[in-house]
Amino acid sequence: MQKYITDFRDFLLLERSLSGHTLEAYVRDVQKLTEYLEISGINISLDQVTDAHLTAFMQYLSELGMSAYSQSRILSGNRAFFKYMQLEGMMGKDPTELIESPKLARKLPEVLDYPEIVSILEHIDLSTAEGTRNRAIIEVLYSCGLRVTELTSLKLTNCFFGEGFVKVVGKGNKTRLVPVGRDAIRYVNLYVTHYRSQMKVQKGNEDIVFLNRRGACLTRVMIFLIVKEAAMAAGIAKPVSPHTFRHSFATHLVEGGASLRAVQEMLGHESITTTEIYTHLDRDYLRQIVTEFHPRA
């Protein structure tokens, strides 16, 4: 069994170019299966594992009290292993094909309503360079629905404000064009023209839009702090992060009647399934409207 696992690790490293952390996680997932087979007295090799063995393994993980998320992750690692075994001709059939992943509870993300967003924006002090930059940052987060890393890596040469778009480099270096609103354009231009243009920019950051006071690219942590402080200044009690503005962007579009496919494109979701969470939010909104305004609700 160990030889199969060692060869699998080499495959992940050489063929899939996975990070060390991901690689070791996959290997541990397969090792959990081998441990189960040994504990259960099932004296077979990994190339003899069937869907029945895997079904019993998943039941075993559930009885251990593992969360559905942990079970799903372990199954994912074993799926990768058995696909490798099949690819290498060591198994005729992938035993994971008929195994269903545990159902994961879909936690609806925290969303700000529009008055809360306006309040956050209006409580930012525009008398300083940092304040103007922070206003521009939050305007862009909400206007474009960007991820934090997409915001920190946003380039001046990718801002096509005349056409009303920004080019965003998302996960897997995939690029997409996202419309940007007039207010966001206004505050970015204000920051770039009056403050950024006067800064001594560190080498390698010349094309980055948002910089810290030392002329370097802002970190993810810094964006979190900027957003948190802005929300606190506005007296927003609910937890607010940069991702909250992304969720709010998508939710407000869906509530306004935007097609899910268009929202998927703007968010950069690879699968429409990921975007479908906003239909749940929309249903909650519609239910709330009926409760508040329908005479027979």
Q: Tokens standing for 65?
A: 């009290």
Burial class (CB in 10 A: 0-12, 13-18, 19+), 212: middle
Tracing tokens 């940052």 back to the chain, one arrives at: 137
Pair 223, 137: CB distance under 8 Å: yes
What pLDDT sits at residue 108? 63
What pLDDT sits at residue 263? 85
pLDDT for residue 277 is more than 80: no
Catalytic residues: 147, 171, 243, 246, 269, 278
Pair 195, 209: CB distance under 8 Å: no
In this prediction, residues 163-184 reach a mean pLDDT of 90
As a whole number of angstroms, the distance between CA 230 and CA 259 comes to: 31
What pLDDT sits at residue 104? 66
As a whole number of angstroms, the distance between CA 130 and CA 226 comes to: 10
pLDDT for residue 21 is more than 90: no
pLDDT-derived band at 105 (thresholds 50, 70, 90) equals low
Q: Render pLDDT for 193-239 as a digit per residue (tens, 0 to 9).
A: 999 999 999 999 999 999 999 999 999 999 999 999 999 999 999 99
Contacts of 184 (CB under 8 A, 6+ apart): 136, 139, 140, 142, 143, 144
Q: Render pLDDT for 122-133 as a digit per residue (tens, 0 to 9).
A: 999 999 999 999
pTM of this structure: 0.62
In CATH, the architecture of 2-87 is Orthogonal Bundle (1.10)
pLDDT-derived band at 284 (thresholds 50, 70, 90) equals low
As a whole number of angstroms, the distance between CA 73 and CA 86 comes to: 20
As a whole number of angstroms, the distance between CA 99 and CA 101 comes to: 7
Q: Report the chain's mean pLDDT, rounded to a whole number.
A: 88
pLDDT-derived band at 264 (thresholds 50, 70, 90) equals confident
Phi, psi of 163 (to 5 degrees): -95, -10
Contacts of 120 (CB under 8 A, 6+ apart): 112, 138, 230, 231, 233, 234, 236, 240
Q: First-to-last CA distance in the chain? A: 62
Look at 58 and 292; give whichever has higher pLDDT.
58
Percent of the chain scoring above 90 in pLDDT: 59
* CA 166 to the chain's CA centroid: 19
Look at 106 and 170; give whichever has higher pLDDT.
170
Pair 271, 295: CB distance under 8 Å: no
What is the CB neighbour count within 10 angstroms for residue 165? 16
- Residue ranges per structural domain of the chain: 2-87, 114-293
114-293 fold: hpI Integrase; Chain A (1.10.443)
What pLDDT sits at residue 1? 73
